[in-house]
Amino acid sequence: MTTVMVVDDSPTIRAMLVNLLNQHGMTVVEAEDGLVAKQLMKDKRPDLVITDVVMPNMNGYELCRWVKNEIPGGAVPVIMCSTKSEAFDRHWAMKQGGDAYIIKPFNPDEMMTAIRSLLQGVKP
């Protein structure tokens, strides 16, 4: 079964993503910031990470760099999901190693398309 880690300081956004992913038969691990996500990933590596950008303690850019550089056994796809909607925000997220950038409020179909593509090894 596919495991997706959802990292967002908003309980509402986390709940929306958990509901969407559960509807599609995926297991979800939740974290409220990047530091918590790092701790959780030490025990279990997710198949994909969806992270907010602006969070306390460790932001999404820092988490993305950590996922791409420090997780043993190969890179885990990372979807950056943020209200930051400027072209530079997308560009910077990709420079940090992000595989997709989705603007909040997200469209569930767009999110699932990105997830499916990345799980199959194709950048959306």
Residue 124 forms part of a structural domain: no
Q: What residue has token string 């691990």?
A: 29
| Chain centroid, CA 100 distance in Å | 9
pLDDT, one tens digit per residue, over 53-71 is: 999 999 999 999 999 998 8
Residue 111 forms part of a structural domain: yes
Residue 65 to residue 105: CA distance in whole angstroms: 24
| pTM of structure | 0.96
Residue 8 forms part of a structural domain: yes
Residue 32 forms part of a structural domain: yes
Q: What is the CATH number of the domain that holds 40?
A: 3.40.50.2300
Residue 111: which domain range?
Answer: 3-54+63-119
How far the first Cα of the chain sits from its last, in Å, is: 22
Among positive and negative, which fits the CA dihedral 95, 98, 119, 102?
negative
Domain count, the chain: 1
Residue 19 forms part of a structural domain: yes
Residue 95 forms part of a structural domain: yes
Please list the ranges in the chain whose pLDDT falls under 50.
none
